[in-house]
């Protein structure tokens, strides 16, 4: 059974806070990586935490290990643009989109 996880990342040591998200190094590689996870149904929602340079992803996975395994090759995590802070299982009670 799939569960929902919140994946929070902060700005990594190589993040240039003077530039926007799409202006960061390796943006194209990161975007392609994330798009693949969206296409396979692993990432449900996501985006930058604008004021601090991090990100938040809503992930669909069996367990935390699956999230970790799928995220380990993110070019931005590998190159220090983002630093993964936490993976938390989340039970959704309210969703006004439905």
Structure tokens at 68: 């970790």
CB 78 within 8 A of CB 20: no
- Please give the chain's pLDDT, 98 residues, in tens: 899 999 999 999 999 999 999 999 999 999 999 999 999 999 999 999 999 999 999 999 999 999 999 999 999 999 999 999 999 999 999 989 86
> If 0-12 CB within 10 Å is exposed, 13-18 middle and 19+ buried, where does residue 57 land?
buried
Report if pTM > 0.75.
yes
Query: What are 46's strand-pairing partners?
Result: 57
What is the maximum span of the chain, computed from C-alpha positions, in angstroms? Answer: 42
Token code pair at residue 77: 């995590």
3 state DSSP class of 6: strand
Domains of the chain: 3-90 (3.30.70.1060)
């Amino acid at each position: 059974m799939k569960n929902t996880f919140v994946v929070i990342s902060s700005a990594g040591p190589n993040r240039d806070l003077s530039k926007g998200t799409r202006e960061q190094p390796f943006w194209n590689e990161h975007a392609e990586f994330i798009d693949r996870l969206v296409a396979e149904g692993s990432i449900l929602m996501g985006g930058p935490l604008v004021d601090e340079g991090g990100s938040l992803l809503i992930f669909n996975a069996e367990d935390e290990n699956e999230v970790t395994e799928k995220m380990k090759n993110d070019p931005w995590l590998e190159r220090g643009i983002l630093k993964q802070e936490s993976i938390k299982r989340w039970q959704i009670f309210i969703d006004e989109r439905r």
